[in-house]
Chain A
Amino acid sequence: MQPTSRNFPVARSFKSLGPEGFHKVAYTEWGAEDAGRTALMVHGLTRNGRDFDDLAKAMASKGWRVAAVDVVGRGDSEWLVAKKGYDFATYVADMIQLIARLGADKVDWIGTSMGGVMGQMAAAAPGAPINKLVLNDIGPFLDKAGLARIKGYVGQDPSFASYEEAEAAVNAVTGAFGPMDAAQRKRFCAASLRERSDGTVTLNYDPKIAWQFHENEPEDVDMRPLWNLITTPTLVMRGAVSDLLSSETAAYMQANGPKAELYDVPDVGHAPALMSDAEINRIISFLEA
């Protein structure tokens, strides 16, 4: 019998019903289709599913089927026509349709930043198809300082004359991501960029996703009432010098709602890259416990 486990990525997609009809949602799948457990990995605001390659590969070898999604407007997923469709209602509805797509009853949800906001929203209602939740540098209270920093770079639709120039620009705004070795940093940049037909290089997302940042002044976001509805076992990965998830919020998350476990990633801001053995092993041991 052929081994069914795959520890290489397979590009897949499906049609999700959203505010403009159906849109293509792409996801990278790892592991065996008949694996005992399924994990859904959801990236941050301007990122995409390829951020999770290392974690997904490690989890596939441990018996998970993994889907690392490109949220609509990012990576290989379709761009919406109207900016207003880029909101959490669309994103969460897409994820629940994706979970149906995967054929799983429940998934382990691993969400970085925006993907962790979505995870908290999805997990808060009874009957959520979520087994365990891993929140990467995100919680129910978002400091406006961090949001202001993101507002400073998101959605500017830059055009770079060369790949090297683009790489430098990505590194300039994602310096807090880590830890990454040189090869991982290289892959992180490659996932961040796409080439236009005219040969210039730009970012791998629809600039319209940033509309809420552009139309509103940054304010603290308080979702603590939502947090207290969550009963899903939760692990929080926190960048020890994060400007989006404070140590006070992390302490709140340990004491309330699902009473999360906390893992601090030293010397890292927003957000841990989930590429080091230490981070990957911590996540797997939490999910296997």
Chain B
Amino acid sequence: MTAYTDKSFTALAGASYINIAYREWGDAGNPNVAVCCHGLSRNRKDFDDLAADLAKDWRVFSVDMPGRGDSDWLDDKSQYGYPLYETVCASMIARMGADKVTWIGTSMGGILGMRLAGKRGSPIERLVLNDIGPFIPASGRRDNQANFGTDPRYPSEAKAIAYIKETRSAFGPFSDKDWDKFGRDSLRQLPDGQWTLHYDPGLASNAPITDTDMWDLWPAITQPTLTLWGVESKLLEAATVDRMAKTGPMTEVFAVPGVGHCPGLTRDDQIAAIRDFIAK
């Protein structure tokens, strides 16, 4: 695997500071930069295969949102949310040192991409959305959050990986090796030797789950956009994909058959679709 470096910076979270972890690949002098942002319960490591491939021609950053991976957890859980994540992402983009960046976002990371791309003066010049769009049905959100924030404990890493594989089976398609990595990347070991998930269980909120309608964001996006669509996805419906292709930035679509939420970005065809799109 191409070498990467794990780094961090300080971001403002309300009236306090948090440490934000990120992973960096590629030549520091390369002006072509891309940033990858993960889904709700995921972290920066989900992009390792994609970034290693892109790093031949790109400088790639992948960032842990607050409460995930190696970024700080918040004392005040009510501050977890898009306004804070936008600030963190803007600091990440500033950190990258480029004037224009390509945004690659899975699920929640794609929502952040849509929100940031549509803002006045956005430094985002190109957008890749992985199985996410401006409309998410409540049923899909409920499904996606079924085990979110349950703070489980496992006696062994193998048992924990088996749990991940069972509850995240809509990701992929993954080889056994991919599943092992995906599982390991989801976990951390506690001082008592048990295994648990990498993220702050305090991320889960009790807010009622409703349809999420962000169509007001869509026409504000003028950047070239590619959407990877897990054809079996419960979060990104066919009708939404259709409207995304016909309105606003009129996204290109790369459909991944047999996969739900969401494409795992480890297969050659998915990686090639992104590589070809961002090279344009």
Q: Are A126 and B94 in contact (CB under 8 A)?
A: no
**From residue B81, how far is it (CB to closest CB) to chain A in Å?**
15
Chain B residue numbers with a CB within 8 Å of A126 are 16-17
Chain A residue numbers with a CB within 8 Å of B123 are 15, 22
Chain B residue numbers with a CB within 8 Å of A96 are 10-12, 17, 91
The reply on A92 being an interface residue by CB < 8 A is yes
The reply on A100 being an interface residue by CB < 8 A is yes
| Complex-state Cα separation, A14 to B18, whole angstroms | 21
Candidates B10, B86, B99, B122; contact of A105 at CB < 8 Å: B10
Q: Are B17 and A22 in contact (CB under 8 A)?
A: no
Q: A17-B119, A22-B123, A93-B87 are in contact. Are A100 and B95 (CB under 8 A)?
A: yes
Q: A16-B94, A127-B19 are in contact. Are A100 and B9 (CB under 8 A)?
A: yes
Q: Are A103 and B119 in contact (CB under 8 A)?
A: no
The reply on A98 being an interface residue by CB < 8 A is yes
Q: Are B94 and A125 in contact (CB under 8 A)?
A: no
Chain B residue numbers with a CB within 8 Å of A100 are 9-11, 91-92, 94-95
Candidates A15, A21, A78, A92; contact of B12 at CB < 8 Å: A92
Q: Are A16 and B90 in contact (CB under 8 A)?
A: yes
The reply on A129 being an interface residue by CB < 8 A is yes
Residue of B nearest to A104 (CB): B9
The reply on A57 being an interface residue by CB < 8 A is no
| Complex-state Cα separation, A14 to B100, whole angstroms | 10
| Complex-state Cα separation, A127 to B72, whole angstroms | 11
Contact with B along A89-102 (1 / 0, CB 8 A): 00011001111110
User: Quick one: which of A246-272 are within 8 Å of B by CB?
Assistant: none
Chain A residue numbers with a CB within 8 Å of B92 are 100
Residue of A nearest to B86 (CB): A17
CB within 8 Å: A-B pair count: 74
Q: A24-B121, A100-B94, A101-B94 are in contact. Are A127 and B87 (CB under 8 A)?
A: no
User: Quick one: which of B1-20 are within 8 Å of A by CB?
Assistant: 9-12, 15-19
Q: Are B119 and A99 in contact (CB under 8 A)?
A: no
The reply on B280 being an interface residue by CB < 8 A is no
The reply on A208 being an interface residue by CB < 8 A is no
Q: A100-B94, A125-B16 are in contact. Are A17 and B10 (CB under 8 A)?
A: no
Chain A residue numbers with a CB within 8 Å of B97 are 101, 103
| Complex-state Cα separation, A103 to B24, whole angstroms | 13
The reply on B120 being an interface residue by CB < 8 A is yes
The reply on A128 being an interface residue by CB < 8 A is yes
Q: Are A99 and B10 in contact (CB under 8 A)?
A: yes
Q: Are B87 and A129 in contact (CB under 8 A)?
A: no
| Complex-state Cα separation, A100 to B63, whole angstroms | 13
| Complex-state Cα separation, A17 to B87, whole angstroms | 7
Q: Are A97 and B91 in contact (CB under 8 A)?
A: yes
Q: Are A93 and B120 in contact (CB under 8 A)?
A: no
Residue of A nearest to B10 (CB): A129
User: Quick one: which of B84-135 are within 8 Å of A by CB?
Assistant: 86-87, 90-95, 97, 99, 116, 119-123
Chain B residue numbers with a CB within 8 Å of A132 are none
Q: A93-B12, A96-B11, A125-B17 are in contact. Are A103 and B95 (CB under 8 A)?
A: yes
Candidates B17, B94, B121; contact of A97 at CB < 8 Å: B94
| Complex-state Cα separation, A129 to B119, whole angstroms | 27
Chain A residue numbers with a CB within 8 Å of B18 are 127
**From residue A220, how far is it (CB to closest CB) to chain B in Å?**
23
**From residue A175, how far is it (CB to closest CB) to chain B in Å?**
37
Q: Are B17 and A15 in contact (CB under 8 A)?
A: no
**From residue B9, how far is it (CB to closest CB) to chain A in Å?**
5
**From residue B110, how far is it (CB to closest CB) to chain A in Å?**
18
Contact with B along A79-114 (1 / 0, CB 8 A): 000000000000011001111110101000000000
| Complex-state Cα separation, A240 to B24, whole angstroms | 49
Q: A23-B121, A96-B12 are in contact. Are A15 and B93 (CB under 8 A)?
A: yes
**From residue B94, how far is it (CB to closest CB) to chain A in Å?**
4
| Complex-state Cα separation, A105 to B91, whole angstroms | 13
Most chain A Cβ neighbours within 10 Å, of B12, B16, B18, B92: B12
Q: Are A97 and B16 in contact (CB under 8 A)?
A: no
| Complex-state Cα separation, A23 to B123, whole angstroms | 10
Q: Are B119 and A98 in contact (CB under 8 A)?
A: no
| Complex-state Cα separation, A127 to B17, whole angstroms | 6
Q: Are A97 and B10 in contact (CB under 8 A)?
A: no
Chain B residue numbers with a CB within 8 Å of A17 are 86-87, 90, 116, 119
| Complex-state Cα separation, A15 to B116, whole angstroms | 12
Given contacts A103-B95, A127-B18, 8 further A-B contacts (CB under 8 A): A14-B99, A17-B119, A21-B122, A22-B119, A22-B122, A96-B12, A96-B17, A101-B94
Pick 6 A–B contacts, CB within 8 A, sort by A: A15-B94, A23-B120, A92-B12, A103-B95, A126-B16, A127-B16
